[in-house]
Amino acid sequence: MLENIFFAYNRGLIISCALFCFYIPYAHSAELARINKTVITVEEFNKKFKDSLKFYQFKSPTKQGVLEDLIKRELGIQEARRLGLDKDPETIERMNTVLYHALIEKKLSKEFEGIQITDEAAKDFYSKYPEVRSSHIFVSVRPDAPAEEEKKAKEKIKRIQKDYLKDSKMSFSEIAQRYSEGIAAPMGGDIDYQTKDRLDPHYYDATIKLKTPGKISDIIRTRFGFHIIKLTAIKTWDDVDKAQVKRMLYDESRAEIFEKYMTQLRQQAKVSVKSELLGP
């Protein structure tokens, strides 16, 4: 008797378990909606619904609302393909941009998240790349300017250097006000305090090489034109925005990781460049 009861109990348990194990996958993979030939399963919907919750802070979406959005999205995608937009060059370029950013996110996000910037590292970085205040005498010329235009601009700044900066009794500020170009000219060429990431690299390098406030550079060329730079101040570590320094160091560390990965990809590929076709 007891054996029969035990057998019946276990038989019922086995059947229930079998039904349960069969039912769950079936329910999850069941067709929830069909848009032409495209099917949205319960499992797919539940995942998308869960993902959608992270984008709502004050109002929770309804399942019906999310499903309607998915249907509208699929209708739009199908219509776009019917119109051939997936073969449109501009659309392809935008899709490739999404793919490019998706690759960076997938391959490098963990390394980016692992970057740790200590106070000591930030201070060491700042000792090499301080925040500087400078003024400049400036003559504008485009990077791709014709040779004659480049020559005239250089002759102009050389004339200013020779006739006024070296032999004049006017101050650097007065000379900049009278003869410099650009928006800083009315302020005597002063561009206030600037960090490494906010200045043209050639301008910044020439400025920090002066080392001592009051010193004046020779003529330098940047992508904006010709400059004569005066270093007016260097902000100390105690006065600097340390969070900003850490952000700069983080960005540089991130760029190093990115460049290392891209170098690896390039080494695995066949890349040829005809630099002579770039022009000046």
Look at residue 273 and tell me if it is in a domain. Answer: no
Look at residue 4 and tell me if it is in a domain. Answer: no
Q: For residues 129 and 250, what is the distance between their CA atoms, to the nearest angstrom?
A: 14
Q: What is the pLDDT of residues 63-91, one digit of tens each?
A: 999 999 999 999 999 999 999 999 999 99
Is residue 109 over pLDDT 70? Answer: yes
Q: pLDDT at position 228, please? A: 98
Q: For residues 100 and 113, what is the distance between their CA atoms, to the nearest angstrom?
A: 19
State which residues form the domain around 161. Answer: 131-234
Domains identified in the chain, total number? 2
Look at residue 217 and tell me if it is in a domain. Answer: yes
Q: What is the pLDDT of residues 14-30, one digit of tens each?
A: 333 333 333 334 455 79
Mean pLDDT of 221-227: 97
Mean pLDDT of 156-162: 95
Q: pLDDT at position 15, please? A: 35
Look at residue 168 and tell me if it is in a domain. Answer: yes
**Residue in the block written with tokens 């390039």:** 266
Mean pLDDT of 101-123: 97
Q: pLDDT at position 280, please? A: 63
The last residue of one of the domains, among 112, 145, 174, is: 112
Look at residue 257 and tell me if it is in a domain. Answer: no
Same domain, yes or no: 152 and 71: no
Q: What are phi and psi of 141, to 5 degrees?
A: -160, 135
Q: Which two tokens stand for residue 32?
A: 């929830």
Look at residue 123 and tell me if it is in a domain. Answer: no
Same domain, yes or no: 159 and 77: no
Look at residue 67 and tell me if it is in a domain. Answer: yes
Q: What is the CATH number of the domain that holds 173?
A: 3.10.50.40
Same domain, yes or no: 230 and 135: yes
Look at residue 182 and tell me if it is in a domain. Answer: yes
Same domain, yes or no: 105 and 136: no
Residue 138 host element (H or E) = strand 132-140
